[in-house]
Structure formats: C-alpha cells, structure tokens
C-alpha cells in the first residue's frame, strides 16, 4: 500500500489559534492550499480518499478529488480530530495538554483509533494508493504508529496545513518516503 496523509487547508480557527469545532471552514488561503495540493497529487493515481467528516477536511478532500477522477471518496468519523470536550473553542495557549480533563480525548485513545482505522484500511486495500485527509492530532497519532513510536512519545511531529506525508507499506516494513512536505504552497 502507498499511504498519503495530509491535513486540511487553513481555517479561521487556525488563524485565531483556537481549538475549533466541526463547523470551522477553510479560508480563501486554505482553499488555495487545497487546490495546490490537488495539483500536486494529480499524478498519484489515488484509489481511495478517506476524509474526516469535519467540514474543513471534507472541503479539502472534495478539492483533491477534482484531479482524481477515478478515486472513491469515503467520509469517516474515524479520522475526525480528537474530541476536545471542555477545550472546544479555547485558544491554544489557554489549555494544558499535560493535564487533560476527562472529556478531552487523550493521546493513547487517538493512537488506538488511528491504529485500528489504519489496520482496517490496510486489510481491505493492501496494494492500493490511499489518501487520508484529516487533522493535526489524529495525523500525529497515525504517524506515531507508523513510525513504531509509543502513543505518548514527546518528539515533535509538525503538521502544516496541506502538508504531505507518504509511506510505502509492505508485509515486511513501513518505509517513510516523505514527511510534512509543503513545497506545493510555497
């Protein structure tokens, strides 16, 4: 399997540095980022695009789909951003990620959700090119799993808007080909 992972385009919540809800929309810059990403991925021959059901990811996936006429688009809650609970709509600097309230999804839960979804997709599409269009935290959890890191690993994993990461996955190994590349928007 060839797995491509990307984050949605820029949103108002990103600009305001707010933990936004599911209605957060792409900005005009976010739409341009998604269009540039779509052009970048046009030669990838993607078989299936899995997108979070959150609007910002759905918008990004639909733009990518314009250059992937043979791809199947599937929306799934399994790629939604982590559950924010009482942190929802708070500024990034107002929350403590080291001491989470019980209503906020923790790294271990995100990691297990990402792992389970990836394994399900790999089983169904072992020899296909797959794209995940998702969010910051769930992408980080997935990348931790693919790198064989612990769910609580503290190493930084940047996730720029429309950054592209690519993994080649075989029965013997998971090989990281590209990580968080944004050359299409620079």
Note the pLDDT tens digit of each residue in 138-150: 999 999 999 999 9
Q: Across the strands, what pairs with 18?
A: 91
Q: What is the pTM of this model?
A: 0.96
Cα–Cα distance, 147 to 173 (Å, whole number): 10
Res. 70: pLDDT tops 90: yes
Domain with 31 in it: 2-185
Residue 31, H or E segment: helix 28-41
Res. 23: pLDDT tops 90: no
- CATH number of domain containing 100: 3.40.50.1240
The total number of structural domains that make up the chain: 1
CB 42 within 8 A of CB 66: no
Q: Which strand ranges, in their side-by-side order, compose the sheet holding 72-76?
A: 72-76, 48-52, 129-134, 2-7, 164-169, 174-181
Note the pLDDT tens digit of each residue in 80-89: 999 999 999 9
| pLDDT the model gives residue 98 | 87
Cα–Cα distance, 164 to 178 (Å, whole number): 7
CB 19 within 8 A of CB 92: yes
Question: What's the pLDDT band for 177 if we cut at 50, 70, 90?
Answer: very high
CB atoms within 10 A of CB 146: 19
């Amino acid at each position: 399997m060839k797995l491509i992972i990307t984050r949605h385009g820029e949103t108002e919540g990103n600009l305001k540095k707010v933990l936004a809800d599911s209605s957060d929309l792409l900005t005009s810059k976010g739409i341009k980022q998604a269009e540039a990403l779509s052009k970048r991925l046009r030669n990838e021959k993607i078989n299936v695009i899995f997108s979070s059901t959150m609007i910002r990811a759905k918008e990004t996936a639909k733009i990518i789909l314009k250059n992937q006429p043979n791809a199947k688009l599937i929306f799934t809650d399994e790629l939604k951003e982590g559950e924010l609970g009482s942190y929802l709509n708070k500024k990034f600097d107002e929350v403590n990620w080291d001491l989470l309230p019980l209503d906020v999804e923790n790294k271990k839960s995100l990691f297990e959700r990402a792992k389970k979804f990836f394994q399900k997709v790999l089983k169904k599409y072992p020899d296909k090119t797959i794209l995940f269009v998702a969010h910051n935290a769930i992408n980080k959890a997935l990348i931790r799993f693919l790198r064989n890191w612990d769910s609580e690993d503290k190493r930084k994993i940047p996730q720029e808007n429309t950054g592209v990461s690519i993994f080649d996955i075989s029965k013997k190994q998971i090989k990281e080909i590209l990580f968080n590349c944004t050359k299409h928007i620079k």
